[in-house]
Amino acid sequence: MTNTFTEKYTIPYYDCDAEGLLKVPTLIKMMIRTSGNQSDSLGVNAELLKSFNINWIITEHDLTIHSLPMSGDSVFVTTQAESYNKYFCYRKFWIHDSHRNELAVMESTFALMDNTTRKVHAVPDEVIVPFESEKTKRIKRGEKIPTLQSESINRSFDVSFWDIDDNHHVNNATYPAWMMDSMSYDFLISHVPSRVMIKFNKEIRYGEAVDSYIEEMDDNKTIHQIKSGADVCADGLIEWKKR
Amino acid sequence: MTNTFTEKYTIPYYDCDAEGLLKVPTLIKMMIRTSGNQSDSLGVNAELLKSFNINWIITEHDLTIHSLPMSGDSVFVTTQAESYNKYFCYRKFWIHDSHRNELAVMESTFALMDNTTRKVHAVPDEVIVPFESEKTKRIKRGEKIPTLQSESINRSFDVSFWDIDDNHHVNNATYPAWMMDSMSYDFLISHVPSRVMIKFNKEIRYGEAVDSYIEEMDDNKTIHQIKSGADVCADGLIEWKKR
């Protein structure tokens, strides 16, 4: 039986947007934090990863948001390492309010990066066995993100020192922050995402120039691409609803 | 006797930089959060401020950092409303580690902004009396920040949707984030601030273009200016030390 791991957390006002709702990039970071804390609790910590010269990276998120918590709300964040194969670990996350109503759920794909070659490293038994998750030969393929047709840049970003995490590259939660930030203020102040799908193709490091491309589809959907020069670093699909 | 108010907080990894130390802008936000929670606990809440059509703004921070906590550390954040006069409220903040060693201390000046005119509003008794702080005629003048002589822009920033707080302007902690982010990556990865002084002159709203000016002084000090067009929005002084 696969372990689950739950933490209670109270939302600081500074993790909320101008209208007092939790920032979506922070929601993702809160979820990921819980997986880090579960790993630490099982001894799958920084020292163990260092002994293999590897670190966790994320290749895919599929986040569904029913309702965003507000500043001051206490929530329960739960994670579970569902299954894994030679190269990929599949994880689920949930956020519940204090009445145990589900607010958001995310399915994510993790892999391990060799810190020197920056390439994916096979999952060592020592790193995955403690989670008691199911070993499978199946490779999960998330829902396809439609190909972006547009050739016009919506907005450009300079990588900030604050975007760099302990992998010394841009943190996974910065990509949805850039994608959302490429929409207009009037749109963002009146809409929130109900679903965010992201596929990460290439890491971005400090000093790279980042361009954000958008295409609006019907049904309140936007497709996104984050590029560094000619390289597609991430593809995204966001479904929106009125606040 | 002036009330103090303390909260315990565990530092999430995502509020830490690439080297695992708490991000200085988040340290400031953690302190400010505690003053908000103290205000709520005393009934000086959003509804009361709304009845006067006002909201708190900050005109000055003087932050001294002895040591930055790390990801996973638990800290105690304490605040105290020291004194006030007709227009300004003077507040102190401390961060202590779990052994009660002082890690950082900040003196800040708060004022109240009329939400419609965007101008400073006299402090109503209802908003300040519950803190039992000392009423004074004295206006505190923080240490002077040397005038920046340089005319060259070090870096430019677009205001992000994520920088906007519930005053619908750029949050006070974004200014030191911009000031620090204007230093080189190599410098930031090897240095941390030991003191950050900021004076806020003019609010910045979404859509404004922001330029960051820097001048290096001797003794590991840098002076900073954040401008929007010809307007000086904030002056800053940062003292640095090796990590």
* pLDDT number for residue B100: 96
Mean pLDDT confidence for A19-25: 97
Nearest CA in chain B to A160: B181
The mean pLDDT of chain A is: 95
Task: Output the DSSP codes for B115-133.
Answer: TTT-SEE---HHHHGGGTP
Hey, what are B108's tokens?
């800040």
Query: Which residue, among B29, B32, B33, B161, would best test binding to A if mutated, counting the most A CBs under 10 Å from its CB?
Result: B161
- Report the candidate in B8, B34, B10, B175 with the shortest Cα–Cα distance to residue B93: B34
Per-residue CA distances from A136 to A86, B114, B196 (Å): 8, 61, 52
Q: Give B32's contacts in chain A (Cβ within 8 Å).
A: 14
Least confident of A172-186, A209-223, B87-101, B184-198: A209-223
Q: Spell out the domains of chain B, with CATH numbers in brackets.
A: 4-135 (3.10.129.10), 153-242 (3.10.129.10)
CA nearest to B159 within chain A: A181
Question: CB–CB of A206 and B188 under 8 A?
Answer: no
Given CB atoms, is B207 within the 8 Å cutoff of chain A? yes
Half-sphere exposure of A56 toward its Cβ, with a 13 Å CA cutoff?
Answer: 23
In Å, what is the CA distance from B147 to each residue of A236, B97, B102, B200, B234? 45, 36, 31, 14, 12
The C-alpha atoms of residue A58 and residue A111 are separated, in whole angstroms, by: 6
CA dist A221 and B106 (Å) reads: 45
Q: Chain A: nearest CA to B212, how far in angstroms?
A: 14
DSSP B146: P
Instruction: State the pLDDT at residue A138.
Output: 87
Question: Using 50, 70 and 90 to split pLDDT, how confident is the model at A167?
Answer: very high
Which pair of tokens denotes residue A166?
A: 């302990």
Q: Is the pLDDT of residue A1 over 70?
A: no
ipTM for the predicted complex: 0.94
Write the pLDDT tens digit of every residue in A37-58.
Answer: 999 999 999 999 999 999 999 9
Partners of A223 in the β-ladder: A215, A237
